[in-house]
Amino acid sequence: MKIALIAHDGKKADMVDFVLKRLLFFSSLKLELVATGTTGSMLKKAGVKTIATVNSGPLGGDAEIGAMVSRGEINGVIFFRDPLDKHPHDVDIAMLMRLCDVHNIPLATNYNSACAVVEYLSSQTK
């Protein structure tokens, strides 16, 4: 099972907090993690040992994860978006969200919905 982790700049601390509070789940041997560049770097610095990274979002990372979704390589996406900020790569973000819908991939865009996605994915790994 592979989960993608993405967070806008204003939400990166929330992502680190979210993952660290669920480190047992996120460090499971059955789980692969992939993150956009800066989010992945912050998670590694916080102690998440095994996480692959793609480019940062504005440099195409969201599109890279979208391609993984379309190839069936991603089982869930946790994307802590900052809805109050404008992003130069909004089209990539919209594309990623659309691909999750097209391929029926669970997508969480805030802390509470991420809790629900983790609960669902936990039930799928048993």
> Catalytic pick from 9, 14, 62, 82?
62
**Which pLDDT does position 22 carry in this prediction?**
94
74, 5, 78: which is closest to 38 by C-alpha?
Answer: 5
DSSP states of 91-110 as a string? Answer: HHHHHHHHHHHHTT--EE-S
Q: Do the Cβ atoms of 1 and 96 come closer than 8 Å? A: no
Domain formed by 2-124, architecture: 3-Layer(aba) Sandwich (3.40)
70, 15, 96: which is closest to 48 by C-alpha?
Answer: 15
Question: Mind listing the pLDDT tens digit of every residue in the chain (126 residues)?
Answer: 999 999 999 999 999 999 999 998 998 868 999 999 999 999 999 999 889 999 998 899 999 999 999 999 999 999 999 888 777 778 889 999 999 999 999 999 999 999 999 999 999 876
Strand partners, 35: 5, 53
- The structural domains of the chain, with segments of one domain joined by +, span 2-124
Is 101 known to be catalytic?
no
**How many Cα atoms occupy the beta-carbon half-sphere of 106 within 13 Å?**
20
- The encoded tokens of residue 1 equal 């099972």
pTM: predicted TM-score of the whole model, two decimal places: 0.94
